[in-house]
């Protein structure tokens, strides 16, 4: 990575792409020194791909259902990503497990809409998370940005932000509050990476 030029980001997504849009908006606003060099989706015809094409970003689908297992799917994803200059891979509502090649160790980030290690793991995504938080009676939830390893929602934690659960919250009202926090925390973590300020010791991320 060259600290004087913007960070090259690959964005991986599976759906609507509001996380991608937020990143593009922050780059346009000049608060995130990065450029999105490619968008790869694990499903065909999702709106996130359209957002990418509207922003003139190379966009491709690598449908998860076309592959028998995580290994072959991951190989196809990394083959697509490696066609472009990439310093950091950003998962933006990407719902499939990936194998992490050594070259991408601590260079893949994910945002999870809860405070890991609570309310996370396989099947815990989007509204399922907020429904589980409300059903459990938790008073605080939040957002976690972390590096990605081979397990769901598991790698070293970069930033966390708390969000209160209010009486009468539904999954929709809670999601709205959590997503507002995501829109602040995720670009902040990416910017820290761009500035070379993140170092990983075991499970712990130090911010320099
Ligand atoms: C985001 O809210 C993100 O927290 C969640 O999916 C949403 C994606 O929205 N990710 C997870 O639940 C990961 N376990 P988007 O498709 O509009 O960007």
Ligand 1 pocket, 179 CB below 6 A? yes
Please indicate whether the domains covering 1-105 and 110-197 agree at the CATH topology level: yes
What's the Cα-to-Cα distance from 108 to each of 88, 91, 138, rounded to whole Å?
A: 6, 7, 29
Q: How far apart are CA 152 and CA 141, in angstroms?
A: 18
Between the CA of 4 and the centroid of ligand 1 the distance, in Å, is 31
Is residue 112 among the annotated active site residues? yes
Would you tell me which CATH number, out of the four given (3.40.50.720, 1.10.10.10, 3.40.50.170, 3.10.20.740), belongs to the domain 1-105?
3.40.50.170
Ligand 1 pocket, 111 CB below 6 A? yes
What's the Cα-to-Cα distance from 120 to each of 113, 145, 169, rounded to whole Å?
A: 9, 12, 20
β-pair partners for 141: 163
Average of pLDDT values for 9-14? 98
Between the CA of 76 and the centroid of ligand 1 the distance, in Å, is 22
Top-tier CATH class for 110-197:
alpha beta
Nearest CA to ligand 1 atom 9: 93
Residue range 42-96, pLDDT digits in tens:
999 999 999 999 999 999 999 999 999 999 999 999 999 999 999 999 999 999 9
What ranges do the domains of the chain cover? 1-105, 110-197
Per DSSP bridges, beta strands 108-112 and 140-147 are antiparallel
Atom in ligand 1 nearest the alpha carbon of residue 110: 13
Residue range 17-39, pLDDT digits in tens:
999 999 999 999 999 999 999 99
Q: Which long-range contacts (CB under 8 A, 24 or more apart) does 159-167 make?
A: 159/185, 159/188, 159/189, 159/192, 160/115, 160/116, 160/185, 161/185, 162/115, 164/139, 164/140, 165/133, 165/134, 165/138, 165/139, 165/140, 165/141
Q: What is the pTM of this model?
A: 0.96
Mean pLDDT for the chain overall? 96
Radius of gyration of the chain from Cα atoms? 16
pLDDT of the residue at 170: 98
């Amino acid at each position: 990575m060259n600290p004087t030029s913007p960070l090259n980001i690959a964005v991986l997504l599976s759906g609507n792409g509001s996380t991608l849009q937020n990143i593009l908006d922050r780059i346009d606003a000049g608060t995130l020194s990065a450029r999105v060099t490619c968008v790869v989706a694990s499903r065909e015809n999702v709106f996130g791909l359209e957002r990418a094409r509207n922003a003139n970003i190379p966009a491709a689908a690598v449908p998860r259902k076309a592959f028998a297992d995580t290994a072959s799917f991951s190989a196809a994803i990394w083959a697509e990503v490696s066609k472009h200059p990439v310093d950091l891979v950003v998962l933006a509502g990407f719902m499939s497990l990936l194998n992490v090649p050594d070259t991408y160790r601590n260079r893949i980030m994910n945002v999870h809409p809860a405070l890991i290690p609570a309310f996370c793991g396989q099947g815990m995504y989007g509204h399922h998370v907020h429904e589980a938080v409300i059903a459990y009676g938790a008073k605080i939830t939040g957002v976690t940005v972390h590096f990605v390893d081979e397990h769901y929602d598991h790698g070293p934690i970069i930033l966390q932000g708390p969000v209160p659960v209010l009486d009468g919250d539904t999954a929709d009202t809670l999601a709205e509050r959590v997503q507002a926090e995501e829109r602040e925390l995720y670009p902040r973590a990416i910017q820290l990476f761009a500035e070379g300020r993140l170092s990983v010791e075991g499970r712990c991320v130090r911010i320099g």
